[in-house]
Structure formats: structure tokens, C-alpha cells
Structure 1
């Protein structure tokens, strides 16, 4: 059963279920599958607790003030105001907060008793076994963009077409290919990467084949997602200052020619880009690559979860490293929170670099002493942090800055908290130079001017 079918059965909007999962920080793998099939336990929970879920949905759709929220959940007004300020929801001129603000979600953050929810699902899924960590907001944002693929009635009832092209954009190492794969999984499409040599003319079985031939061949197959990396470099806008390779210009023209056929031929093209700034605006027009999905570096909570995940991934229960982690209480999240605070704006790959470096240091100590227990010292962590920081170059930070510019322009309302948190972390690296010079990085548009 799809989530939309359960929502229809219980007469509760699908969006309410999605917000409920986010508000109560439920593990996605215990509620729904990647392509939105409902898990049996979650469906049973929903049917048994339909009264609460209806109250939750009704409250979610009401516009309300801080005072009304506080009265409804019997919590101090100043505490409610603190949560509201942190979440930064939309507000009307009369001071009432727009729907999508949950009184129950705020009450949960303030310590309200919702054990009946958490007790129902039992032990949470270990981090090492999860499909992905955190990023619920990104996952649900993507699922809404893909709704025409998941709901056959979108076109017949509402005239909403399936996207023909999607751009996933974000700094290097943030997981764009991972999310492209996840999109293919959500809509049950075969994932195929467009290799660079496909864009020119190549020899296959002693016969010349072109990018045009490749696209025609792909359109003969059903349900294929085509990933094109370095989309912002290959699909650049030609101007007086920047020249474009003739093969890239030809590839762009072919994509513009065929993209109108993609929906009918059950093809979805996904471009992975570091930035949106230089992409030819023709490609971003409606019906082309008009769905933009930002891919963020992980926030502080996600960093700590990822560190634990990568430290314990693939380990046997009796592994030496697992014993060392347990002796240091490093098999639990609190151990990793402190170091994650010093990983401001780190990419996913930098976190992996840190864990690999730390594992090697722990192993070296063991090989030297051949004894347990081993203490994971602050010195070891600091050294591994320096190793991981090698990729934290000025170029990378400029790319994060450009990403913030892009996402603030295109998706600010969707990811206000993430954007503001990342901006605060980036400010840590900005150096005050001579007073006459501007503080921070220069955007592409500013460089031009």
C-alpha cells in the first residue's frame, strides 16, 4: 500500500503524514519504503491512532498565534516562542503563523509525553543499517517533486506533467550521485550514467556512434534515468567572456531538441551541478530542467550520525574496533557530537576521510601495543580532523558560498533552517582583511560587475 492510499483510506492528507514523521523524528525505514510503500507496522499504528492523527492534521492546517499554541498544549508562551523563532515558519501580518506549524510537534520538542508513538515502533533501526542518515526534509522535498511519477492521477486530474529534467546541485562531495540514485529508486527507473565519451563521437564495434545515437537508443528503452555529471560545466551559457567547446554546445542542442520527448518515452535526465550560476537559461525553462533539488553538506546532527555510521559500518559484533569503540563509549552518538561541531561545512567525503584516518590511527596503536583497552584520545581525533580538513580549501569554501547564493535564490522557503545554519558555519571561515576590502567570498555575478 502506498502512503497516498493509506491517507485516502483514513481521510488524512498525505502531507500531514509526512510532517508527522518529521515532527516526531521517526526513522523513515520504520514507516515507509523509498518508493513510498507503507510499512505494515506504520499502517497498523495509523489505524489504531486515527483519532490522534486527525487532531494532528486539523491542528496542522490551522493558522494560530504563539499564545493560541501555548494555550492548546499547556506550555509556557516564552518556551513556545523560542521554538517558533528557531523553526522560522511563515507568519501573516496579524501575527498568526500559517498552517504547517504543528502545536503537537512544538509540544514534543518541549518534553510533551508522546511515548505511545515511540513505544509502538520498538527499537530504532541501527545507524549502520539505515539507507541514509538524516535528510528527511530533502527526501520529502524530492518525493513531492516526483509526485507525478508516484500518482498516476496527477496528469489526468490536475494536468501536472512528470518532470523531464532535474538538476541536483550542491558543493563537491555532498552526495549528488547518491541522490540521483535515490530518485531512480523512488520512481523505479533504471539508473544509467552518461559517460563523458558518450558526448562526442566514439567507435563501437568499429562503427562510429554519436551522442545523438546514444539518446535515440535510450529512448527505445522504458523507465531509464540518465545522469549527466558536471552539468554546469558542460551546459554553460555561451557569452563574450566564456567560450564553450563545440562538442558541449552540440550536446546541449541535442538535449534541448529531445527533452520534450522524454516524458512520453519514459526517460528522466538528471544533471549534477556544483552551481546553477553558469547553466544556459534555456535549459532551465519550464518543461525542461525546471526542477531544482539542492544537496546540502550535512548539519551538525547528521555529521555526528554519519561519523558513528562510518565508524561501525560493516563491522562484526566481535570486531576489535567495535570493542574499542564500546570501551570509549564511542558506539553512541554523544561521543561524536563534540568533534562534529568542529566540522563546519564539511562534505560527506570529508567525514569519510576523518573516519578512515581515525580507524588507521586506532589500528596502529593496537599493532604497536597488541593490547586492549585503547583510549581514543583527543590528540588522535585532532590529527584525523587535520587529515580530513585537507579538502577544506578556499576553492571548496567558495563553492559552498556560491551554493548558498543559489539555494537562497531558488529554494529558500523550502530549506530556511538548513540555509541559515550553513551560512552561520561558513561565516566561521571568513577572514576580515583590510577594512577597504569586502568580507567573505565573491559571487560570480559580483566578479562580472
Structure 2
């Protein structure tokens, strides 16, 4: 059963189910699959607690003030206001909060007893078995964006067309190709990556071919997602100050020529960009690549989950590394909280670098001593941390700063908490040079003040 089918059966909006999963911090893999098939435990919970979910749905649809929320959940107004301020939730001029705010979600954060919810989800999915870690907000945002692919109603009832092109933008190493693959999985399209040599003239089976020929062939195939890296470079705008290669300019013109046919031919093109600022306005025009999705570096909690995931990935239960992790109680999430909090604005790639470095260091110690009595201490962690931080260059930090500027303009209301948290992490790397007091970024994670 799909989530939309369950929502229709219980007469509760799909949006309410999505917000409920986020409000109550439920593990996504225990509720729904990537293709929005509902898991058995979640279906059982929803049907047996229909009356509560109805109340949740009704409350979610109401604009309400701090006083209204406090009265509804019988909590002090100052405590409610504190939660709303912490979550960076916008308030209307008349003092009312948007209808997407749940009184029950706030009550849960204030210690309300909702054990009856968690009783249905007692068995936690192992990190190594999850489709992806964290990013529930981004997953649901992307899924909402893809709704025209999943249901015919947006087109037949509202005239809303499927996007022809989507731009995933974010700092290097944040996982844009992962999310492009995930989008292909959600909409059930073939994932195909556009190789750089496609842009020039090449010979295939003795026949001369170019990017125009390649794109025409792709439109003939059934349901294809084309992924293009360096989209912001290839699709940049030519100006007096900036020249564009003739090959890139030709590629851009070919895409502009065919983009209006993409929807009809069941082709979706996804571009990967570090920034939106240099992309030609013609590319971003309505009906072209007018859908932009920000791909954030992981937050502190997601970093801890990723560390544990990549350390345990592909290990058998009796693996030597697993035994060493267990001896240090490092096979549980709390062990990694402290080091992950130091990895401010680390990309996914940097997290992987850290885990690979740590694995090698632990293995070297094991080979030297032939003993499982290895302590994963601060010295060992800091050594791996420094190696991973080698990619935390001034250039990368400036790319994060540009991303923050882009996302604040284009998607602030969608991700206020993530944006504010990332700003705080980025600001920790700023330095003030006396007496000039210019602001810049330090190198390799070293902080100066």
C-alpha cells in the first residue's frame, strides 16, 4: 500500500503523515520505503490510532498563536515560545503561526507522553540496512517536488506539469549524485550519467556522434533520468568579464533546444551544481530548470550516524573491527557524538575519509600487537580527524558560504533550521585579523580569533 492510498483510506492528508513522522522523530525506514510503500508496522499504527491522527491532522491545518498552542497542550506559554524560536518558525504579522505547525509536535518536544506511538516501532533498523541516513526533511521535500511524476492529479486536476529539469546544488562532496540516484529510484526512471566525452564529437561503432545525437537517442528510450555534473560551469552565462568554452556553449544551446520536449518524451535531466549564481537565466526560466533542490552537508547528528554506518559497513558479526568497536562501546551512536560535533561543515566525503583513516590506524595497531585490546582514544580520533580535515580548505569554506547565500534566497522557508545551524558552524571558522579586522576563512579546520 502506498502512503497516498493509506491517507485516502483514513481520510487524513499525506502531508499530515509526513509531518507526523518528522515531529515524532520516527526512523523513515521503519515507516515507508523510498517508493512510498507503507511498512507493515506503520500501517498497523495508523489504522489502530486513526482517532489520534485525525486530531493531529485537524490541529495541523489551523493557524494558531503561542497562546492557542499552550492552551491546547496545557503547557506554559514561555516554553512553547522557546520551542518555536529554536525551530526558527516564521510568524504572521497578526501573531499567528503557519498551519504547518503541530501543537502535538511541540508537546512531544516538551516531554509529552507519546509512548503509544513508539510501541509500534520497537525494533530499530540497523544503520547499515537503511536506504540513507538522516535527511528526512530533504527526502520529503524532494518527494513533494516529484509529486507530478508519482500522481496524475497535479496535471489533470491542476495543470501542473512534471519538471523538465532539476538542479541539485550544494558544496562539493555533499552527495548530489546520491540524491540524483534516489530521485531516479523514486520516479522509477533509468539513471544515466552524462560522461564528459559526450559533449565533444566522438566515434561510436565507427559512426561519428555528438551530444545532439546522444540526447536524441535518450529521448527515444523509456523513462530516462540524465545526470550532468558541473552543470553550473557548462550552463554558465557568457559576459564581457567571463568567457565560456565553445563546447559548453554548444551543449547549453542543445539543451535549450530540446528541453521543451523532455516531459513528453519521459526524460528528466538533473544538473549538479556547486552554486546557482553563475547559471544562465535562460536555463533557469519556467518550464526549463526552474526546480532547484539544495543538498546540505550533514548536521552533527547525521555525521555521527554516518561515521557508525561507514565503520560497520560490510562487516560480519564476528569481524575483528566489530569486536574492537564493541570493546570500546563504539558500536553505538553516543560514542561518536563528541568527534562528530567537531566536524563542523564536513562533507559526506570528509566523513568517509575519516572512517577510512580510522580503520587503517586501528588495523595497523592490531597487526603490530596481534591483540584486540585496542583503545579508540582521543589521540587516535584526532589523528584521523586531521587527515579528513585536509579537504576543509579555504576554497571549500567559501563554497559553503556561497551555498548558504544561494539557499537563503531560494529555499529558506523550506529549511530554516538547517540553514541557521550551518551558518553557526561556518561562522566558527571565521577569523578576525587585527588591526584590519577583515573576515576570512581559516585553513584545514584551525580556528583563530
Which TM-score tier does this pair reach, normalised by the shorter chain? over 0.9
Q: Which residue of 2 aligns with 1:156?
A: 156
Trace 1:113-124 onto structure 2 (pairs within 5 A). 113-124=113-124
Q: Secondary structure at the match of 1:276?
A: coil
Structure 1 residue 79: deviation in Å? 2.0
Question: In structure 1, what is the Cα distance between the partners aligned to 2:373 and 2:67?
Answer: 54
Note the aligned Cα RMSD (angstroms). 1.1
SS at match of 1:226: strand
CA distance in 1, matches of 2:98, 2:235: 39
Gaps of 5+ in 1: 442-449
State the partner residue of 1:100: 100
Determine the structure 2 residue equivalent to 1:145: 145
Normalising by structure 2, what TM-score? 0.96
Which residue does the alignment assign to 2:445? none
Q: Which residue of 1 aligns with 2:446?
A: none
Per-residue deviation, residues 367-410 of structure 1 (Å, max 9, x unmatched): 11111221101000000000000000011001001100111111
1:285-344 CA-to-partner distances (Å, cap 9, x unmatched) read 000000000000000111111111111111111111111111111111111000011100
Q: How does 1:10-159 map to 2 (within 5 A)?
A: 10-159=10-159
Q: CA deviation at 1:108?
A: 1.1
Alpha-carbon distance in structure 2 between the residues aligned to 1:80 and 1:327: 42
Match of 1:447 in 2: none
Moved more, 104-113 or 156-165: 104-113
Query: C-alpha distance in 1, partners of 2:191/2:101?
Result: 37
Q: CA deviation at 1:185?
A: 0.3
The residue number in structure 2 matching 1:354 is: 354
Q: Secondary structure at the match of 1:158?
A: coil
Deviation of 1:23 (Å): 0.6
Secondary structure of the 2:191 match is strand
The 1-side partners of 2:60 and 2:275 are apart by 35
Deviation at 1:436, TM superposition (A): 4.1
Q: Structure 1 residue 434: deviation in Å?
A: 4.1
SS in 2 for 1:431: strand
Gaps of at least 5 residues in structure 2 are 442-449
Superposition deviation, residue 30 in structure 1:
1.4
Tell me what 1:205 maps to.
Answer: 205
Aligned to 1:167: 167
Q: Distance in 2 between matches of 1:253 and 1:437?
A: 45
Q: CA deviation at 1:74?
A: 2.2
How many Å apart are 1:437 and its aligned residue?
Answer: 5.3
How many Å separate the matches in 1 of 2:435 and 2:91? Answer: 38
Match of 2:195 in 1: 195
- 2:183 aligns with 183
Q: CA deviation at 1:440?
A: 3.6
Question: SS of the residue aligned with 1:251?
Answer: helix
Task: Give me the whole-angstrom Cα distance separating, in 2, the residues matched to 1:340 and 1:210.
Answer: 46
The SS at the match of 1:227 is strand
Offset at residue 435 of structure 1 (A): 4.7
- Cα deviation code 1:116-145 (max 9, x no counterpart): 111112211111111100000100010011
Give the whole-Å Cα distance in 2 for the aligned partners of 1:314 and 1:386. 25
Segment of structure 1 superposing worse, 268-277 or 78-87: 78-87
* Secondary structure in 2 matching 1:283: coil
> How many angstroms apart in 2 are the aligned matches of 1:205 and 1:423?
51
- 1:78-134 alpha-carbon deviations (Å, 9 max, x no partner): 222221111121212232212111111111112211111111122111111111000
